[in-house]
Amino acid sequence: MLTVETRQAVNPEYAKTLDTTGLRRHFLAQGMFRTGEIRLIYTHYDRFVIGGAVPGDQPLTLAKVEETKTPLFLDRREMGIVNIGETGTVVAGGETYTLSRGDVLYLGAGTGEVTFAGKGRFYITSCPAHRRLPARLITASESKEVKMGTSATSNKRTINQFIHPLVMESCQLVLGYTTLEDGSVWNTIPSHIHDRRMEAYLYFGMDEKSRVLHLMGEPQETRHLFISNEEGALSPPWSIHSGAGIGSYTFIWAMAGDNVDYTDMDFIQPEDLK
């Protein structure tokens, strides 16, 4: 029922030596959504965890994860859950939360076991937390909506901020998602890095044959990954993260690190990329 994969941190000098297979092995997140399973990727980037839970016919409970060496996974962690499927439920801390597609649930440290049920496809993000904060269900309509980009530059998009200082308080987790408008393909342009935080992307809402060309690497040493539906990318603090897709798509961004300042970015203009 539970599978955990560990990803070691990669420094930029080593990343320059990797071929396509090596880049995908270290930075691409695949196979997280399998019916009847919880599948996690435990990274050494700020001890961030991403993964998926797809209950199917039977509920799935996330309790102990050996990699954290704590009695329960959330004893010293906070969690953000996004439902990218049909309506499902999450039971945690003695409460039952109903998540429609696009809703986000925040769970604070010390919550205890977490049980997933129903027809949801639950994307899991988690990072260490030094204090406990109250759980909160944030519907799509309660998120902070930000419009960015233009049709002329093919990056007109809507950013929905959920676990974010403008919406709610968290310890270090920041999470939301971005949806491209029809005719726009570029996300997060101009690109940026933030040495104070790591970041992870999950791309979803894509056709089976569609792909996103995800750009990564140092600004002067860019690399790329071709990513399909319900796959993600791990972005170290030294790496840019942006891309362009075939057809419509949405991507969930989640971060952890020294601060929760969403605007703490070092922008890299397209003419400065190589």
Which residue carries 């965890």 as its tokens? 49
Encoding tokens for residue 225? 């990954």
- Which residues does 142 contact at the CB level (< 8 Å), separation at least 6? 167
Question: What local confidence, expressed as pLDDT, does residue 131 receive?
Answer: 95
> At 20, is the pLDDT very low, low, confident or very high (cuts 50, 70, 90)?
very high
Mean of the per-residue pLDDT values for the chain?
Answer: 97
The verdict on whether residue 130 carries a ligand-binding annotation is no
> What DSSP designation does 35 have?
B
Instruction: Provide the terminal-to-terminal Cα distance of the chain, rounded to the nearest Å.
Output: 43
Dump pLDDT digits (tens) for 225-273: 999 999 999 999 999 999 999 999 999 999 999 999 998 999 999 999 9
Dump pLDDT digits (tens) for 141-166: 999 999 999 999 999 999 999 999 99
Question: What local confidence, expressed as pLDDT, does residue 106 receive?
Answer: 98
* Contact predicate 229/206, CB 8 Å: yes
Question: What local confidence, expressed as pLDDT, does residue 211 receive?
Answer: 97
Question: What local confidence, expressed as pLDDT, does residue 8 receive?
Answer: 97
227: left (phi over 0), alpha (psi -120 to 50) or beta: beta
The verdict on whether residue 194 carries a ligand-binding annotation is yes
Percent of all residues in the chain with a pLDDT value above 90, rounded to a whole number: 99
* Contact predicate 99/88, CB 8 Å: yes
Number of domains in the chain: 1
- Report d(CA 214, CA 23) in Å as an integer: 12
Other C-beta atoms lying within 10 Å of the C-beta of residue 205: 19
Question: What local confidence, expressed as pLDDT, does residue 168 receive?
Answer: 97
Residue 149 belongs to domain spanning: 2-272
> What DSSP designation does 73 have?
T
Encoding tokens for residue 30? 């695949």
Question: What local confidence, expressed as pLDDT, does residue 92 receive?
Answer: 98
Cis peptide bond prior to 59, omega within 30° of 0: no
> At 63, is the pLDDT very low, low, confident or very high (cuts 50, 70, 90)?
very high
Q: What is the CATH number of the domain that holds 95?
A: 2.60.120.10
Encoding tokens for residue 172? 């270090």
Q: Is the pLDDT of residue 189 over 90?
A: no
Strand (E) or helix (H) holding 231 = strand 231-235
- Average of per-residue pLDDT across 91-114: 98
**Single-letter code of the amino acid located at 198:** M
Question: What local confidence, expressed as pLDDT, does residue 258 receive?
Answer: 94
